[in-house]
Structure 1
Amino acid sequence: MEEYIKEALAQGYIRPSTSPAASSFFFVAKKDGGLRPCIDYRALNQITVKFRYPLPLVPTALEHLRGATIFTKLDFRSAYNLIRIREGDEWKTAFITPTGHYEYLVMPYGLANAPSVFQDFIHEVLWEFLHRCVLVYIDDILIYSRSLAEHRQHVAEVLERLREFQLFLKAEKCSFHQPSVQFLGYNISSSGIQMDEGKITAVRDWPAPATMKELQRFLGFANFYRRFISNYSSIADPLTNLLRNKPKSLLWSPAAEGAFNTLKRAFTTAPLLIHPDPDKPFIVEVDASTTGVGAVLSQQQGNPSCLHPCAFFSHKLNPAERNYDIGNRELLAIKLALEEWRHWLEGARHPFLVLTDHKNLEYLRAAKRLNPRQARWALFFTWFEFSISFRPGSKNTKADALSRMFAPEESPETPEPILPADLIVSPITWSQETLPPANASTNAPPGCPPGSQYIT
């Protein structure tokens, strides 16, 4: 922390403060192993007037890529720190550390309007290149061209413009002169634009059921989307037949295998799976089990309007994550889903809804006391505008099924003991009738509170 403060002071990012505000400060780990400074601006964000700068329509923007054969992706270094805080407003960003009280001179991470402000700023910088050879989505920049010679010129012009505005890139995360790239959840190449395989991996890699419970779980997931799958009942018949008469074991067959694979293909193709539409609000459904977490990104589309999935997500819990209690696992599910679909949800035009079957999470954003892990996640959540709503587990079948695909069967959770085992000698069971006679003549030990019964 001392090293960061010294460096930020030297760079002119922060200065000592006498502000009445004092948000808490800590670090969170980045994927590359580094640390990102984070400030808990939840209180500030609650009273901030939102800046609604429109994000580009992704399907419309992608139409400009037709005919392109070579691509370059750029990644900014400390993107938000490239923008100066308006003079006179610095005191609002003040934070407290063990080394002192400081305030930002540049835009820090965690402010509610940061994504929209940055999008507006980059559009002003690169306006003459937009839809000619550049696509910009918040801090994601794609340069595209029809030929290598043309591309070299485009890249040089864009880099020169960024240099004029003293905007710096992270070289190790930039990709230059590539025949194909991943951008905003799509695989883009000279062959065209395809859906990112990551959007459907969770369903495509679903293992064949080995038990009756696993089959019931898969059919529960499938049943929710049956309205979008032509001849669903006929396709699923070999699977539903396996559940008739409540057999004790699952007798898998080639017909069942074929039906299982046909349904999986149907989940990941149109008309069921749709491209996200930024003009419509998103719904994120999440669930956590003892072995994994699952999520579905959906939107209401069509006439009549129906809830269609845009993407699926699942994550196998590591040993440390399996030790989380159920509330923290559900919270982890929300965090991982928002990370996975950040390019759609951060700066979205409409607040989105998160559905969970853990009722206590409805009050997360108003919580006064959070442990360090929850505090880090809560700060990450401030980058998004969303609400959390409770949905009973019986109605949360889609995300629930995705979260439970990593283990054949799960045993009931055993509550963690409050006291370690080595502090317990042995349990003693007393009947209610024997307690009064046993304690009638027993005096309380010295220093103990009165009004209680003691056994010696």
Structure 2
Amino acid sequence: MSSDIRAFVSSCPICASVKTPRTPPAGLLQPLPVPSRPWSHIAMDFITGLPNSKGKTVIMTVVDRFSKLAHAVPLQGLPSAKEMAVLVSKHVFRLHGLPQNIVSDCGPQFIASFWREFCKLLGVKVSLSSGFHPQTNGQVERFNQDLETTLRALCSKNPNTWSSHLSWAEYSHNSLVGSTGFSPFQAAYGYQPPLFPHQEQTAAVSGPAAFVRRCHRFWKGFRHRLLRNQERFTAVANRRRTAAPEYKVGDRVWLSSTDIPLKGGARKLMPRYIGPYPVVGIINPVAVRLDLPRTLRVHPVFHVSKLKPAKDSPLQPPPAPPPAPRIVDGGPVYTIRKLLASRRVGRGVQYLVDWEGYG
């Protein structure tokens, strides 16, 4: 391949959209801050697709990001934002107080205006994961996997009985010793729950003051272990990643089409990237907000591993500016080249068109 052809392939916008990436994913690991006490920062999610068990088909999972203590609440179906506010108040706030931060995905319950206003009135910050990047909410995603594995082992012969085993599956997770050397129950309350009566004496405390002092001393040491584990996990994860470009507002980027529902044609021959789209906001070093067209009904915040910078081709001149508008009866006149789509908005119809130009 000559140097001219190679330069064209590397810079052509069409080639950039169809080529399969051969480099490690961009964006070094950016772990969430480690809390300093239990239940100040929590993560939430739902497990769906379960068989009907006493009228329950969904599990709401809540994980404390400090101690990893988890609650699993069986539900009849996915709740609305208002119903979720009632459930969280009953199963989390009532037992552990109001958290400072709630991490979740971009489900319809979590992006609803009711849920946002509810958390805002309580002084709780809502943190949503970036589009198609479940690693942001990895704490609860991992618990969901362990919970499904436990339920699969307990009721593999009779799946419709999973709701009866859910409390024991939750107990087994909360009492299991992890990589820090302590169980989630011990990290939250300062002692390991006794399994048998003869162990009760080792779990007893001398008094409330001694219990509080021991908890604070234990939480300090436990947080040190969490930070140490986080540094080790970050170093291992970054071996298979590359540093992301420093995007700025106004930059144009290509968006991976892997998780985008594209229409028409075989998926095998669809472009690997779509766009380019302008960057309109920088959420953090590994998450940016894009200005997407209305036809893409997805969350506009993406992890940098889903993006790549758009390079202007030196072989293709930039598009010519539109001609001056044609004024008729004191107003500009537009010529429509093609009607792309239409939808009903209230009692009217909204059209998406492709303009021929102003003239």
TM-score by length of 2: 0.23
Q: Which has the higher contact order (CA 8 A, sep 6+)?
A: 2
